Every structure is written in C-alpha cells, then in structure tokens.
Copies of this chain bind each other. A is one copy, B any other.
Amino acid sequence: MPEDKVRQIPFIQSLDRGLTILQAVALSKQPVSLGELTEILGIDRSSAFRLANTLRRRGFLACPAGRKDYILGSSMWRLSHRYDWGNMLIRVANQQLKLLATQINETAHLAIREGKYALFIDHAAASNVIAVAGQVGELVPLYCTAHGKALLADADERELRALFGSGHLRRYTKNTLTSIQELAKECTLIKKRGFATDEAEYTEELRCVAAAIRVDNDVIVGSIGVSAPMTRFSKERYRASAEQVCKVAQAIGILLSNADQATDRDADKAVAEFA
C-alpha cells in the first residue's frame, strides 16, 4: 500500500482519515463494511464508525437499502457533476498543448472521451502551418482515430464489445480497423508502447499520433496528440513525434494528479528534457 504523506504542513488527522475512507469506498467495486474500513485505516472500530457516519450524514457515503456497509453517496455525484472538468483539463493542459504544437510544428489537439466518441476540446495550431482537421467541439469515432484509440487503451475485448456491439465497425477508409478483435489487439499494443496512431483510418491522407493522459498513472481522462497530412508528416518524423507526445501527456497527467506547486516543477522537469 503506497502511503506517501509529507507533513511539513500540519494536517488534520481525522479529515485525512475520512478522505481515506472515501477513496477506499470509491475504489472498491463492492460495498465496504465497517470492518474493512477499520482494517484499512488501522484504527479502532468505533472511530472508523464515527468517521464513516459523518460521511454518511453529509451524503458522501450511503448504505445500500437495509445493508450496513458503505457505498458512495449522492454528494460525490452531485459535486463532480456540477463541476466543469472539461475546463479544468483545458486550463491545465493549455500550456503543454501549445508547447507541443510549437515543437512539432503541427496542429496539436486535446480530446476527451464522450460515450462512443472522442470529443476535441482544445487545439493549438503551429504558427506557420495551414490548420488541419479537428475543430474544437468535433466528435470523432473512438475506434479509428489516434485520440480515440488512446482513450480506449485500457479497454479489453469484452469492454469493446459492450461499447460497440459485436458486429462490424463502420469503415471510413481502406485502413480503418473494422473488427473488434483487431481493435482489441491494437489497444493492447497502444497500452504497452504508450501512444496510438491513426494511419489515415478515419480521414484519407491524415496521419495522427496521440497519447492518453492519465491521472495517477492510471485512470485515463483525456488524450493529446498531433496530426498532419501524410505528405507533410513522414512516417519517421511522426514516429519521432510520438515520444514527445507521450512526454507531454505524462506531464499533463502529473499536473492533474497533484495540482500543487511542488508538482508544477515535476511536470516542468518532465518536459524540460526536450524543451
């Protein structure tokens, strides 16, 4: 269990414990019993109970009808729904996005997943280059774009079928992957090497590299990438770009993971190497 806590600044024990409970419950697929919480926190049963009870009163936890173990409550739902996460991502990633566009000298995009599609939520154009496809606000299929596939990186075949059904996928170009099986294999590869490509699989003549943005090196919350016409984006050039894309994606992930000053620097470092 990774427990990295720095206490240079005094921190409130009981609040911290409460948050631990919240996390534990959120990360568990099953309802969590008081006993388990006691175990996790390593404190007395009664204390765990009172903590959990406080969370329940506030609606952050709830008890499934009749049961006495805990699940997340509606407050979490409400609070996170109300919040404008898209804007947060845009804000945090903006600088990195521009950096990427400048370095590679092609248009860079930021996307999030929206159901079966990837949604472009921001872009940065290189100064001296004609803008390329991918308007902000545009929805593109997940399965045949670099951004989409990056967002799908963690999916296995079962999930893909649940999402797209078991039939064939619509073909956009001659390179489009149309079977779930191929797609699943591609996802595995993408996950391993860290970036996804689009070899004109959605739009003819358009090549694209993208990497998933992960919070805590885990949950995928968005993707960042660059794209350009094949004529301008040679295979080796865009392969080289992949590395930069990955680094930037990671930098943004770090910024999101612990958005405090200390980690601003970590992110800078991560980017600095090739800046």
Q: Which residues does A use to contact B, with CB under 8 Å?
A: 5-6, 9-19, 22-23, 26-27, 29, 50-51, 53-66, 71-85, 88, 91-92, 114-117, 119, 137, 139, 162, 165, 215-216, 218-219, 221, 256-264, 267, 270
Contact = CB atoms under 8 A, between A and B. Distances in A.
Contacts of A26: 78-80, 82-83
Given A19-B58, A53-B9, A72 B81 contact: no
A75 B165 contact: no
A115 B141 CA distance: 12
Q: Which 9 A-B pairs have the closest CB atoms?
A: A62-B259, A114-B115, A80-B80, A26-B79, A15-B18, A115-B115, A11-B54, A62-B260, A12-B54
A23 B115 contact: no
Contacts of A57: 5-6, 9, 11, 16, 260, 267, 270
Given A19-B60, A55-B19, A80 B82 contact: no
A256 B74 contact: yes
Given A29-B84, A257-B74, A11 B60 contact: no
A91 B51 CA distance: 25
A11 B60 CA distance: 14
A152 B88 CA distance: 23
A257 B11 contact: no
Contacts of A62: 258-260
A51 B12 contact: yes
Nearest to A61: B260
Nearest to A88: B71
A63 B26 CA distance: 23
B23 A18 contact: no
B50 A10 contact: yes
A71 to B, nearest CB: 7
Contacts of A84: 29
Given A82-B27, A91-B64, A114-B116, A221 B77 contact: yes
A252 to B, nearest CB: 11
Contacts of A5: 57
B263 A78 contact: no
Contacts of A6: 57
Given A15-B51, A73-B259, 16 more contacts: A12-B50, A16-B58, A23-B58, A23-B79, A59-B258, A59-B259, A62-B259, A63-B261, A72-B79, A74-B215, A76-B83, A77-B256, A78-B215, A80-B80, A80-B81, A115-B119
Task: Indicate the member of A80, A82, A259, A264 with the most B CB atoms within 10 Å.
Answer: A259
A84 B71 CA distance: 10
A227 B64 CA distance: 29
